[in-house]
Amino acid sequence: MKKIILGRSGQKVLKAFHLLFIGSATDSMASMFIYKRIFFFLILFIHAILLNAQDIIYQEKKGDEQVFQYHYYLGEDSEFQKIRCVRLESNDTLEDQTLFTDKDYKNLSWEYKRTSDNTLVTANLKGNMVALRGIRDGEKISEDFELDGYKWIQVFPLNPGLEKWLSSEEEDIKFWVIGTASSADMDMNKFYAEKEETTKVRIKNKRYNCRRVNITLSGWRSVFWDGDFFFRKSDGRIIKYNGGGPPGEPGSVTTLIKENSIPD
């Protein structure tokens, strides 16, 4: 059974639900009154969970024909940040992943599902290790990865830990990511990101001041993949990506096509 993590707001609503609804079920109040309470507290509970939620959509064009969409759902409460990313092709879900971080943006847990080959895994931070467990391509997988002093930044570039680095004085950073494609699938890979120049990027007939960041695989693996990521300077949000694909696959261009609010 999947464990549901609630922040303080969710816990308070749940406690109120128990006291007011369960308590009333033992007295002689009419059933209709009880049902109204159920409806009221369900609405309140859902509102607490979705507090500060955002919905962000990107479109990826790969080669000449393939088009994908990435739907990101960002939410937070007093204790956790939640990032969910769903990858779609023609309205069919290809991948679905969810990441929890703490308020300092340290990755705590990650769940990944890929329907095409019966892959479902979870990864959890345990000290200086990441424990990966589950099913990959229909077979059981159990791996422990040592972080070796570097951060684990999954679901980049929307990971808030990467956005935090963008606003810092550091010019470059190395971090770990669990791969989800090609030969890197479910293996821990080290990436290197370096801040580059400030430039203008046009999206939907509007120009934005952006900071270009080049991200590559670290070390000798950098010859296999690198990409340019353009982060909006006003808030650090990624709005465009240009990069090569994994070995044997075409490159791609990804752009932001929808968000709840776009700052000037």
- Cβ atoms of 185 and 112 within 8 Å: the answer is no
* Domain-embedded: residue 162: yes
Q: Are residues 60 and 45 in the same domain?
A: no
Q: Are residues 44 and 59 in the same domain?
A: no
Radius of gyration of the chain (CA): 21
* Domain-embedded: residue 111: yes
Q: How far is Cα 130 from Cα 146, in angstroms, rounded to an integer?
A: 7
Q: What is the pTM of this model?
A: 0.76
Higher pLDDT, 166 or 36: 166
The residue behind tokens 């982060």 is 231
At 247 the pLDDT is 67
Alpha-carbon distances of 40 from 14, 21, 44, 216, rounded to whole Å: 12, 10, 6, 50
**Nearest in space to 125 (alpha carbons), one of 147, 108, 145:** 108
Q: Are residues 20 and 97 in the same domain?
A: no
Q: Are residues 103 and 154 in the same domain?
A: yes
The average pLDDT across 57-82 equals 88
Average pLDDT, the chain: 80
Q: Are residues 15 and 111 in the same domain?
A: no
- Cβ atoms of 112 and 95 within 8 Å: the answer is yes
Residue 39 has pLDDT above 70, yes or no: no
For the chain, what percent of residues have pLDDT higher than 70?
Answer: 78
- Helix, strand, coil: what percent of the chain each, to 5? 20, 50, 30
* Domain-embedded: residue 2: no
Q: Which helix (H) or strand (E) holds 163?
A: helix 160-166
Q: Are residues 80 and 210 in the same domain?
A: yes
pLDDT tens-digit readout, 161-209: 777 888 889 999 999 999 998 778 999 999 999 999 999 999 888 899 9
Q: Are residues 159 and 247 in the same domain?
A: yes
Domain containing residue 113: 54-258
Please state whether beta strands 129-136 and 139-146 pair in parallel, antiparallel, or not at all (unpaired).
Answer: antiparallel
pLDDT tens-digit readout, 56-66: 999 999 877 77
* Domain-embedded: residue 37: yes
Work out the burial of residue 200: count CB atoms within 10 Å of its CB; fewer than 13 is exposed, 13-18 middle, 19 or more buried: exposed
The average pLDDT across 129-134 equals 98
* Domain-embedded: residue 28: yes
CATH for 161: 2.40.360
- Cβ atoms of 173 and 243 within 8 Å: the answer is no
* Domain-embedded: residue 134: yes
Q: Are residues 30 and 58 in the same domain?
A: no
Q: Are residues 29 and 152 in the same domain?
A: no
For the chain, the domain total comes to: 2
Q: Are residues 153 and 202 in the same domain?
A: yes
Q: Are residues 104 and 226 in the same domain?
A: yes
pLDDT tens-digit readout, 196-255: 999 999 988 889 999 999 999 988 877 778 899 999 998 889 999 998 776 677 789 999
